[in-house]
Amino acid sequence: MSDSPIHLVDRSPRVSAEELLAGFRPSERFGEVSFDTYIPDPGQPSQEEAREALRGFAASVEAPSGGGFLGRLFGRRPARAAKAGIYLDGGFGVGKTHLLASLFHAVSGPKAFGTFVEYTNLVGALSFRKTVEALSGYRLVCIDEFELDDPGDTVLMSRLMRELSDAGVRLAATSNTLPGSLGEGRFAAQDFKREIQVLSDQFEVLRIDGEDYRHRGLPEAPEPLAADDLEASVAAAFPDASRVAVDDFPALVDHLSRVHPSRYRQLIEGLQGIVWRDVETITEQAVALRFVVLADRLYDKDLPIVSTGVPFDRVFTEEMMTGGYQKKYYRAVSRLTAMGREGLQRAAGPDREATAR
């Protein structure tokens, strides 16, 4: 770490409206996926059913339909995708984002792909009316990880979706069901339908069952490095120190309060790795929610993380993990664990890869 690495706390990006909108596309992780690259689990028939339903939905978006909005909404479409929108409900890591990104790639533009949080942040950055004006001319708007734990944001997004649908925009969304609710299968879908009352009968709801592929047969969270091992491990994991961001964790989470979440994508632009010293449990809800957004953007770019301090399954308090925002925190822990495991594997090298796992 002697080659003057980057520090995220030194970055304060400024982003124009045009740059924000240009960023509404699948991340590098899903930049080239397709329906053909999605491999359904043979033991979970709902995965193949969802893939075929989305193929039909993509065809319906591409199919010509005259008569203005009513023609687009009720005109000629494949019977399977007769509704204006499609909604994927399922647990963590079953491939919903892969399928949603495949839908995005299968449809010609203009189009947008972003997470629920990114759209709410877009409204915060541009205003509601300007966001509607910007997206109303799109053919397809994809909303990944629709969230129901913040009533204000949910109502905001419901209104946005209603206005976009009225403008003839086709919509697709995904959401996660909490691990304890996987057997119920209707929690997220029913709440989603209540919150988008006008659109509810226009959405086809698809349940995708399966196991989180990121953790199949793997431990929940790898142990962080000892402080004395950090420098050598970082040098082994990231030979090009000029593209690694090294930060003291407490200072980083404090810095996030001074950067609008809509700019977190630009905050980590150009990086190939992340190093955090002294990871600690976050105890304030507002701080934790900002950190969740950063974790999502890091996962989008598939950035390995090397860290010291507490393991990532302890970065949020027990109260947070069982409270109203637990879905966000479960997702963040799942993703941080995957990136942390990748960082340790790189630091360990091929001879110790099994140990790092």
Report domain extents, the chain. 8-14+215-356, 32-211
Q: What is the mean pLDDT of residues 110-136?
A: 92
Contact 68, 167 (CB under 8 A): no
Highest CATH level, class, for 32-211: alpha beta
Q: Which residue has the higher pLDDT, 126 or 69?
A: 126
Write the DSSP assignment of 147-216 as a string of letters: --S-HHHHHHHHHHHHHHHHTT-EEEEEEE--GGGTTT--HHHHHHHHHTTTTGGGEEEEEE----GGGT
pLDDT in tens, 168-199: 999 999 886 543 443 344 445 555 556 655 55
Give yes or no for residue 162 having a pLDDT over 60.
yes
% of the chain at pLDDT higher than 70: 79
Contact 304, 271 (CB under 8 A): no
Under the banding of pLDDT at 50, 70 and 90, the label for residue 146 is: confident
pLDDT in tens, 24-40: 999 888 888 999 999 88
Give yes or no for residue 295 having a pLDDT over 50.
yes
